[in-house]
Amino acid sequence: MAQIQAMEIPESIREELESTENVTGTAFGLKQTRDEGITDTEAIVVYVDEKRPEEELADEEILPEELEIDDETYKVDVQESGDVKMLEQALRPAEPPMEIAEAEPELEAIPSSLSRKEKWRPAPAGVSVGHPNVTAGTLGTPPLRTTDGRTVFLTNSHVAADSGDASQGDDVYQPGTYDGGGANDIIGTLVDFSEISTSEDNTTDSALVEVRPDHLQSDIFEVESDLRAFTDAELGQRHTKSGRTTSVTAGKCTARNATFNVGSKHGTAKFVGLDVFEPIASGGDSGSLIGLERADGFYGTSLLFAGSSSLTLGIPMDTVQQFHGQLEPMTGRELVDPDDLRITGTTFSMTLKGGQTIARWSGPWNDRYNVDFDAIPTTTDGWVSSSVESVYKTNSGIYYRIRMENKRSNSPVDCDVKYVVRR
The CATH number linked to 196 is 2.40.10.10
Residue that terminates a domain, selected from 335, 350, 378: 335
Look at residue 97 and tell me if it is in a domain. no
Distance CA 187, CA 219 (A): 16
Q: Which residue would you say has higher pLDDT here, 37 or 4? A: 37
Residues with Cβ within 8 Å of 302's Cβ and at least 6 positions away in sequence, in order, are: 233, 239, 275, 277, 289, 290, 291, 314, 315, 316, 317
How many domains are there within the chain? 3
Give yes or no: residues 188 and 233 share one domain.
yes
| Beta strand pairing call for 267-277 and 289-294 | unpaired
The residue type at 345 = G
- What's the pLDDT tens digit per position in 81-96? 988 999 876 644 333 3
The CATH number linked to 405 is 2.60.120
Say if residue 411's pLDDT is above 50: yes
Distance CA 108, CA 118 (A): 12
Residue that terminates a domain, selected from 335, 350, 366: 335
Of 277, 400, 240, residue with least CA distance to 30: 277
Look at residue 108 and tell me if it is in a domain. no
Give yes or no: residues 323 and 416 share one domain.
no
Distance CA 144, CA 129 (A): 17
Look at residue 418 and tell me if it is in a domain. yes
Query: What is the percent of the chain where pLDDT is above 70?
Result: 87
Distance CA 308, CA 310 (A): 5
Domain residue limits at 390:
337-422
406 touches 355 (CB < 8 A): yes
- What's the pLDDT tens digit per position in 23-71? 889 999 899 888 888 888 888 999 998 888 777 777 777 888 888 887 7
Distance CA 75, CA 277 (A): 20
The pLDDT, as a whole number, for residue 393 is: 74
Least confident stretch, 206-210, 213-217, 281-285, 322-326: 213-217
Phi, psi of 247, rounded to the nearest 5 degrees: 60, -135
Q: What is the DSSP string of 173-235?
A: ESS-GGGT--GGGEEEEEEEEPPP-SSS-B----EEEE--GGGEEEEETT-SSPEEEE----B
Q: ∠ at Cα 46 (230, 281), nearest 5°?
A: 45
Q: What is the DSSP string of 22-78?
A: TEEEEEEEEEEETTTEEEEEEEEEEEESS---GGGS-GGGPPPSEEEETTEEEEEEE
Give yes or no: residues 366 and 287 share one domain.
no
19 conformational bin, left if phi > 0, alpha if psi -120 to 50, beta if neither: alpha
Give yes or no: residues 296 and 153 share one domain.
yes
The pLDDT, as a whole number, for residue 331 is: 63
Give yes or no: residues 302 and 154 share one domain.
yes
The residue type at 349 = S
Look at residue 102 and tell me if it is in a domain. no
Residue that terminates a domain, selected from 80, 101, 136: 80
Look at residue 3 and tell me if it is in a domain. no
The pLDDT, as a whole number, for residue 217 is: 81
Look at residue 6 and tell me if it is in a domain. no
Give yes or no: residues 361 and 292 share one domain.
no
Look at residue 71 and tell me if it is in a domain. yes
The pLDDT, as a whole number, for residue 302 is: 98
Give yes or no: residues 318 and 388 share one domain.
no
Give yes or no: residues 392 and 402 share one domain.
yes
The residue type at 292 = L
Look at residue 110 and tell me if it is in a domain. no
Distance CA 341, CA 331 (A): 16
334 touches 368 (CB < 8 A): no
Give yes or no: residues 269 and 168 share one domain.
yes
Residue 114 banded pLDDT, cuts 50, 70, 90: low
